[in-house]
Copies of this chain bind each other. A is one copy, B any other.
Amino acid sequence: MIKKNKATIYDVAEKAGVSRQTVSRVLNNRLEVSEETRQRVKEIMAELNFQPNAVAQSLSRQKSFLFGVVTSGLKYLGPSRVLSGITNKAEELGYGLLLKEVQNSNSANIIPVLDWFKAHQVDGIIWAAPEVEDNRQWIKDVLPMIDIPIIFLTMEEEENVTIVTTDNFTGARVAVNHLIQKGRKNIAHISGPLDWWEARQRKMGWESALTEAGIHVDDRMWTQGNWSSKSGKTAFLELIEKYPEVDGIFAGNDQMALSILQTAPEIGKRIPQDLSIVGFDGIAESEFYIPSLSTVYQNQDELGRIAVTELVSQTEMKLKENKAVEPKYITIQPELIIRQSS
């Protein structure tokens, strides 16, 4: 229960006629307390509405049961789904979360975030901000200097670093192969911003699938958006201009695919007859687009949950055996959902 005037372990000890240590033992469910004493202390605790002070515990234990989470672009669907998975799994496993959102992750604004987490004694860090630009560099620079376990999400494999990510490359290949199977001959791509690793992976998957099918890839066949529907529209119009024979598009995400569905009929292209579309992400709404959108579903909730599970095992490993866990590269396979747009 919540109370204004906070009782401390000291008050409980005094009222129960035991030492503070004994109270602490009861608090931590240690065995070496007689059942009788334990009961009495517990009663007094209830009576005084005693609540242990977590800050004092953290300081004393040198362990906070808190993880730091770095996110970015929370106003978009993807990052928040990941965060949702993180919050749920962390709750399950008894950890709290300290949250920071960063705008863009260049080394300059990363250091303060890590320092802040460290000052707050977090037991581990989940880096859930996407890899953009020079991410790689700071990892190499900074990581060796920090002694807190970190898990990275959505990032290229890297030595000595644990990473959890969707397999964007394979996901893209599956999408494009599907279009090929549907008999499409001129399959274009509208990529996300290419300073994002995910965007690059999906583009590479598209290229890979085409090349494998003996189709030559050149720069007429793709344009770049910034994930938003608005940018998708612009990118689509640009694409049509320079690659008019296009009859299939693999879009970097569902939002950009959406604007293709809207714009194509306006310029006389029927979907899927004249133009087949496949998106990426598998957001819930994509089923209700017109026509319903084929897409590559990635389970971002699961991504977050795995990250937490992994982090917990790393922190406990570190605590118990005082040895680091060997880093892992964990990959989740996305899943093609075929609907009317292809």
Contacts and interface: CB of A to CB of B under 8 A. Distances in A.
Interface residues of A, number: 65
A50 B162 CA distance: 28
A145 B91 CA distance: 25
A129 to B, nearest CB: 12
A85 to B, nearest CB: 8
A58 B121 CA distance: 12
A301 interface: yes
Interface core residue of A53, A75, A120, A255 (most chain B CB under 10 Å): A75
A98 B97 contact: yes
Contacts of A51: 115, 118-119
A100 interface: yes
Contact of A287 (B229, B261, B288, B289): B229
Contacts of A142: 2
A4 B144 CA distance: 9
Contact of A55 (B55, B261, B262, B289): B55
Q: What is the count of identical protomers in the complex?
A: 2
Contacts of A58: 55
**Interface majority SS on A: helix, strand, loop or mixed?**
helix
Contact of A290 (B71, B75, B262): B262
Interface core residue of A74, A101, A147 (most chain B CB under 10 Å): A74
Interface stretch (A14-22, A76-84, A176-184, A320-328): A76-84
A66 B87 CA distance: 18
A2 B145 contact: yes
Contact of A229 (B59, B98, B285): B285
Given A99-B87, A146-B2, A55 B120 contact: yes
A1 interface: yes
Nearest to A120: B54
Interface in A215-237: 228-230, 232-233
Contacts of A233: 288
A96 interface: yes
A37 interface: no
A120 B118 CA distance: 16
Interface in A96-116: 96-101, 111, 114-116
A39 interface: no
Nearest to A80: B80
Contacts of A3: 145
The 9 closest A-B pairs by CB, nearest first: A80-B80, A87-B101, A54-B119, A74-B84, A75-B84, A229-B288, A259-B288, A99-B99, A2-B146
16 contacts: A4-B146, A53-B59, A55-B59, A55-B64, A74-B81, A75-B80, A75-B301, A77-B77, A80-B83, A96-B100, A96-B116, A97-B99, A230-B284, A255-B285, A258-B285, A285-B285
